[in-house]
Amino acid sequence: MPRDNIPKSSVKKLQQFFTKTLDTNNDGLVNWTDFEAAIESIVSQEDAQKNARLKVLRKRLEQHFQKYFWDLCAVGDANNDGNIDLDEWLDVMNDIISGLKEKNEFPEWYEGLHKALFRANEFLDERAVSKDEFANMLISWDIDESSAEKAYDFITEHGQKKMDYNLFSEFMKKFFLNETPKHPLNLGLD
């Protein structure tokens, strides 16, 4: 399948995103084990057992991630092995980027992942996420702090705009569409 919606300048960034944010055990595949590890890094089982609020948060996160994982497999697991390899993921990204170019929207199933990731964080006010809170969220994705802070400054216009879910979603859209090398939107992944 040709990937005509992914510019050559963005392939490395997307490969790095796959490796750092999805393939948590670095085996070249994304499967449920990777999602379990991501859940554990956001809200540990140990913490959830001690705190009712965290228990509910973890349960919701598990439900959202299970849905996203099975939706991802439904659209991207070309060989039906229960894993998403890099080539399959790039094919999915090609379709997602096509949708972004045409309608400036993520598919509903993919938007759900971003909502779950955003809402799984301990923000003081999720309508006005601070630079430190944003950086901590991206650090949990293996993005370095300096790159996260530069991205925050860019997307919020140095704090002139409040970081809420809508701006975060806009940031993710721009991340996938940006073709400019070394741009803050690339999160240092290029």
DSSP one-letter string for the chain: ---TTS-HHHHHHHHHHIIIII-TT-SSEE-HHHHHHHHHHHS-HHHHHH-HHHHHHHHHHHHHHHHHHHHHHHHH-TT-SS-EEHHHHHHHHHHHHHHHHHHS---HHHHHHHHHHHHTS--S-TTSB-HHHHHHHHHTTT--HHHHHHHHHHHTTTTTS-B-HHHHHHHHHHHHH---TT-GGGTT--
Which residues form the domain of 115? 9-186
Within a domain: residue 131?
yes
Let me know if residue 2 belongs to a domain: no
Q: Does residue 3 lie in a domain region? A: no
Question: What CATH number has the domain bearing residue 146?
Answer: 1.10.238.10
Return the minimum-mean-pLDDT range out of 53-57, 102-106, 137-141.
Answer: 137-141
pLDDT in tens, 82-95: 999 999 999 999 99
pTM for the predicted model, two decimal places: 0.86
Kindly report, residue by residue over 22-73, the tens digit of the pLDDT.
Answer: 898 999 999 999 989 888 888 899 999 999 988 998 898 899 889 989 999 9
Query: Is residue 77 one of the residues assigned to a domain?
Result: yes
In a domain, 4, yes or no: no
Instruction: Domain count for the chain, please give it.
Output: 1
| 182 within domain boundaries | yes
- Residue 86 domain-assigned? yes
